[in-house]
Chain A
Amino acid sequence: MTQLALVIDLNVCVGCHACVTNCKEWNTSGEAGPMVDQNPYGKDPTGTFFNRVQTFEVGVFPNTETIHFPKSCLHCEDPPCVPVCPTGASYKRKEDGIVLVDYDKCVGCKYCSWACPYGARELDEQQKVMKKCTLCVDRIYDTTMTAEERRPACVRACPTSARLFGDIHDPDSEVSKAIRESGGYPLMPEWGTNPANHYLPRRKTKLRIREDELERADNPLKIDSQLPKPGKAEPSLDDVTSW
C-alpha cells in the first residue's frame, strides 16, 4: 500500500506563499480547467485555492513565536468526505491514497465540504464543482518530466524545503523518516480521520557547549590560551583596516 503525502516542516516555513502561488499557477493551467477567481483586481478579491498559508502568533509578548502554517487537503487515510458523497465524485485512490474529486460527476452539493473538519475543500464559484488539492496527480506521474520535476508544484516551489513529499507507508522514505525522527504529527487527531499529511513541530535549535569545549581540549602543552584583551585605548580593527 502506498500513501502519498506531504510533510510540512513548521520549523522551516517562512510564510512566503510561494507554494500557494505555484500551486495555483500549475493547477489553473491544467487539463482539469482553471481555478477561477472572482473580482481579482477589485475590492475583496476571492477565488479557488488548493493551498493557503496562514499565520499564527503563539505566546505573550515578548515570549512569542510566529508560526506560518501551510494548509491544504491532508489526504486522510480514513477520509470523512468520501463516504458522504452521493455521486461517488469524491474518491480515494487505492493505488496511492490520493483523495480526488471527479469534476465531471460532482453535482456541487457541498456536502463533502461539510464533512471535512479541516475546511480543505472549496467550491469553485464558476464551475460549481468541489475542488481540492490533488497532490499534483497530473504531474507526479508525468514521465515526460524529469524525476526531479515529478513532485507537487508546492514542493518544487518551496525555497526553504519546508515541504517534503513521499510515501508515508514506506518506512525508509524521506517523509517517514522525517515524521519518525522529527516528531511529525497529524492535525485534529480527535476525529480519527488519520490524515496522511503530517506537520513537523517548531524546534528550538540549541547549542550545548561545555566549559572544556571553549578551549582546545587537545592542547596538552597549553601552548595556546585565550588571547589577552586589547587595551581600551588601542586602535581596534575598524580603525586600521578598511576590510
Chain B
Amino acid sequence: MHPAFSVVFLTTLIGAGQGLFLALFTVESYAAFGLLPAQTNSFYAIGSAIAMILLVLGLLASFFHLGHPERAWRTATKWRTSWLSREVIVLPAFMGTVFLYGVAHWFSINPVLAELPSGASVNITAVLGTLGTVLAFALYICTAMIYACLRFLREWHTPLTVINYILLGGASGFTLAAALAATEAPDVMPLLASWALIITALGLIGRAATLIRNARLKPKSTLQTAIGIKHPRIVQKAQGMMGGAFNTREFFHGQSVALLRSLKWAFLLTTFVIPLGLLSLGLSQAAGGTLLLAFVVQYLGLLAERWFFFAQANHPQNLYYQSVA
C-alpha cells in the first residue's frame, strides 16, 4: 500500500495521546489505593492538556485523508458494520472524556461520589478516568481493526495488529508521561518509566512477532486465481493504460526493497532499542531531558514503523498491475 502521511500521523499521535491518558489514570488509580503518594492536580491537568493536543493534531491529520472533509459527519453513521465509523465515534467520545478529566483536575472539581468498603474514595475523576480508560482501549481496537479486518491484506489480518497498536501507543504514551512526571511529579517518575520500559519491551516482542509472521506469509492470490487461468507461467503484457491510474498510485509504495529493509531495522532501533536505553538511563539518573529525548526518538521511530506497516501490506489488486507494457 502507499502510506498516506495523514494516516501515519493520525494513528501515531492518537496512540501516544491515549497512552498518555492511560498513564495519568494509572498514577491516579495507584494513588487512590494509597500505593503512591497523591499527586498535584496540575500534573493530571497538564498531562490531559498534552494528551488533548496529541489527539486534536491526530484528528486534524485525519481530515487530510478525506476527499470531502465537509462530509466527515457522515462517517459516524455506519457503526454497525464499519470499524472506521466506530473509530469516528469513539475518538471524539474519548477526547471529550479527556477534556472533562483535565478540566476536573485543573479546577479541582473533584467531589467524592462514593466510598469503597476498603475506605478508598471514588471521585468524579475516577469515574471519568475509568470511562476514559475503556474508551482508550476501545479506540485502540477500532483503529487497529480498521486494518486487521481486511482479510485479503494478510499482513494486517492478524490479532497481532490490535496488540501492536495497543502496545506501541501505550509505550509512547507512558514514555511521554515519564518525561512529564520528571518535572511535575518526580516521585511517580520511576513507576511510569518502569512501565514505559515494560510496554516498550512487550511492543518489541509483538512487533518482531509480526515481522516474523509476515516474512513467512505465502500469498493466497496469484496471477492464476486473479485471471482464472491455470498455467504456471503468465506474464502481463499490458495493463490497460500507460500513464498510471489510481490503482498504480494507491496500492504501491514505490520504494525499493532495500529501502524497506533498512527502514525496518531503523524503526526497530529507534522505536524500541534506543528508547529502552534512554529510558533506563533516565530512570537511573532521574533525568527529565533524557526521558523527553526517549519520547522524541520513539515517536520518530513510530512514524517509520507506521510507514513500514502500510508499505508492507501487499494488496492482491497489485497482481493486475505488474507491468505497463
Interface residue ranges, A against B (CB under 8 Å): 17, 20, 39, 43-49, 52-60, 66-67, 69, 71, 80, 82-89, 105-111, 113-119, 121-123, 125, 127-129, 185-191, 199, 201-202
Q: Within the complex, which residue of B78, B237, B316 is in contact with A56, where a contact is CB–CB below 8 Å?
A: B237
Show 28 A/B contacts (Cβ-Cβ < 8 Å), sorted by A. A17-B240, A46-B241, A57-B235, A83-B82, A84-B81, A85-B78, A86-B84, A87-B74, A105-B71, A107-B72, A114-B150, A114-B153, A116-B317, A117-B152, A118-B316, A118-B317, A119-B321, A122-B245, A122-B246, A123-B246, A123-B250, A128-B67, A188-B316, A190-B220, A190-B221, A190-B225, A191-B151, A199-B228
Using Cβ atoms and an 8 Å threshold, which residues of chain B touch A49?
Answer: 240-241, 245
Task: Give A44 to B320 CA distance when docked, in angstroms.
Answer: 19
Do A201 and B75 have beta carbons less than 8 Å apart? no
Count residues of chain B with CB under 8 A from any CB of chain A. 57
User: Beyond A56-B227, A119-B318: 7 further Cβ-contacts under 8 Å?
Assistant: A52-B241, A71-B320, A107-B74, A109-B75, A119-B251, A122-B245, A201-B228
Using Cβ atoms and an 8 Å threshold, which residues of chain A touch B228?
Answer: 185-187, 199, 201
Q: Within the complex, which residue of A44, A58, A127, A188 is in contact with B226, where a contact is CB–CB below 8 Å?
A: A188
Task: Give A125 to B318 CA distance when docked, in angstroms.
Answer: 20
Specify the chain A residue showing the minimal Cβ separation from B248: A46
Q: Chain A's nearest CB lies how many Å from the CB of B219?
A: 10
Specify the chain A residue showing the minimal Cβ separation from B79: A86
Q: In this complex, which of B151, B223, B243 has the most chain A Cβ atoms within 10 angstroms of its Cβ? A: B243
Interface residue ranges, B against A (CB under 8 Å): 1, 65-69, 71-72, 74-78, 81-85, 88, 146, 149-153, 220-221, 223, 225-229, 231, 233-247, 250-251, 315-318, 320-321
Do B225 and A187 have beta carbons less than 8 Å apart? yes
Task: Give A81 to B146 CA distance when docked, in angstroms.
Answer: 13
Q: In this complex, which of A86, A115, A188 has the most chain B Cβ atoms within 10 angstroms of its Cβ? A: A86
The 6 closest A-B CB pairs, nearest first, are A108-B67, A128-B67, A119-B317, A52-B240, A44-B243, A83-B81
Q: Chain A's nearest CB lies how many Å from the CB of B223?
A: 8
Do A44 and B67 have beta carbons less than 8 Å apart? no
Q: Chain B's nearest CB lies how many Å from the CB of A120?
A: 8
A-B contact count (CB 8 A): 176
Task: Give A191 to B68 CA distance when docked, in angstroms.
Answer: 31
Task: Give A110 to B251 CA distance when docked, in angstroms.
Answer: 11
Using Cβ atoms and an 8 Å threshold, which residues of chain B touch A44?
Answer: 242-244
Do A201 and B66 have beta carbons less than 8 Å apart? no
Using Cβ atoms and an 8 Å threshold, which residues of chain A touch B236?
Answer: 54-57
Q: Chain B's nearest CB lies how many Å from the CB of A80?
A: 8
Using Cβ atoms and an 8 Å threshold, which residues of chain A touch B317?
Answer: 116-119
Q: Chain A's nearest CB lies how many Å from the CB of B91?
A: 12
Using Cβ atoms and an 8 Å threshold, which residues of chain B touch A121?
Answer: 246
Q: In this complex, which of A53, A119, A122, A187 has the most chain B Cβ atoms within 10 angstroms of its Cβ? A: A119
Do A67 and B227 have beta carbons less than 8 Å apart? yes
Specify the chain A residue showing the minimal Cβ separation from B237: A55
Q: Chain A's nearest CB lies how many Å from the CB of B137?
A: 21
Do A109 and B84 have beta carbons less than 8 Å apart? yes
Task: Give A187 to B228 CA distance when docked, in angstroms.
Answer: 6
Task: Give A96 to B225 CA distance when docked, in angstroms.
Answer: 27
Do A117 and B221 have beta carbons less than 8 Å apart? yes
In the complex with contacts A54-B238, A191-B152, A107-B225 CB distance below 8 A? no
Q: Chain A's nearest CB lies how many Å from the CB of B40?
A: 41
Using Cβ atoms and an 8 Å threshold, which residues of chain B touch A45?
Answer: 243
Do B240 and A188 have beta carbons less than 8 Å apart? no
Task: Give A67 to B237 CA distance when docked, in angstroms.
Answer: 9
